[in-house]
Amino acid sequence: MKLGARSLRGAMGTYTAAAALAVVIIMLVLHYGPSLRPSSARVVLPARAGWSGAVLRRGDTLLELAPGQTRSIAVGAWELRLFADDGSVEERSVELREDELREFGPAR
């Protein structure tokens, strides 16, 4: 017995069913996709906080933050280095939660 469609009508029905299944899968991915993304938090270094910059580090990931800049980053524990205008450096450990907005306040 030969494999495959026996007629053009049968082949078109197969392609139609495959296309409909693909559309349903795409709709499900687009509908549930945002909940499948990793959770994130936002961090901001206020422009008037007195810091000239900051670096967030976790494992091999380094993220630079300039004054006035806001970034979305993964939740969890991060090491933070804040650089003051006078050249001093302040180190902090921060724990970021989902949907949190964390501002790194004025230099001490």
Dihedral of the alpha carbons of 87, 93, 95, 96, in degrees to the nearest 10: 10
What would the pLDDT profile of 14-53 be if each residue is shown by its tens digit?
889 999 999 999 998 887 776 656 678 899 998 887 889 9
pTM of model > 0.75:
no
Return the half-sphere exposure (C-beta side, CA atoms, 13 A cut-off) of residue 5: 9
User: Rounded to an integer, what distance in angstroms lies between the CA atom of residue 68 and that of residue 89?
Assistant: 18
What would the pLDDT profile of 66-80 be if each residue is shown by its tens digit?
999 999 998 999 999
